[in-house]
Amino acid sequence: MDAYEEPDFAARRAEMVEHQLRERGIRDARVLAAMGEVPRERFVPERRRELAYADAALPIGAEQTISQPWIVAAILQALGLRGDEEVLEIGTGSGYSTCLLGRLAKHVVSVERHSSLARAAAEALRAEAAANVELMIGDGSRGVPDRSPFDAIAVHAAAPAPPPALIEQLAEGGRMVVPVVSGKEEMLTLLRRRGAELESTAIAPCRFVPLIGAEGF
């Protein structure tokens, strides 16, 4: 039996979808289906796999975390992906969100500044046959301008303001979700490009590691 399809993990995954996601306002059927299928335990360090479906963020090394399941789902739902989008992800981390984005969009470019995390994420993504995701190592706050515009951008680190470089790489009508710091508070925020204007919608309070880079901290 595949160690990552043990009945215990499958049951925990189904419980996560019902109680952590659906009951707390996640309604996007594609997001719920993807999170019910992708084995989160594959993206968690082995010593913490028993906690893979806990309602909490977990450390993954290099002072980074895999986000709480609800936060991951909230980001994906806000992006409103339908399957034909080019997506930029800032902060590959464990690769879990990357894998989910790959199931929900046409193609994903993901940038991670820690080479050790990028290597581990690449291995997990290969095991999940995530062929439409592309990993890069570098300063995510600058984005990937030569691959823009992107229909959606997911930022998994808190910034003092939405990075201008990422805004410039957002397509017309495109959506970006980014945690924005204001004083001691962080707010997961959805931005939508409307011509020269950006519509901003607060999603929920959150807590992320800081975005380190030229347009972060």
Q: Which residues are catalytically annotated?
A: 67
80: exposed, middle or buried (Cβ count in 10 Å: 0-12, 13-18, 19+):
middle
Contact (Cβ atoms closer than 8 angstroms) between residue 132 and residue 104: no
Q: Alpha helix locations (H) across the chain?
A: 7-15, 29-37, 69-79, 96-104, 115-127, 164-168
Residue 109: CA count within 13 A, CB half-sphere: 18
Q: Which amino acid is at 165?
A: A
- The rounded distance, in Å, linking the Cα atoms of 86 and 120 is 23
- Among 190, 156, 193, CA closest to 174: 193
- The rounded distance, in Å, linking the Cα atoms of 103 and 95 is 13
- Among 49, 47, 45, 39, CA closest to 16: 39
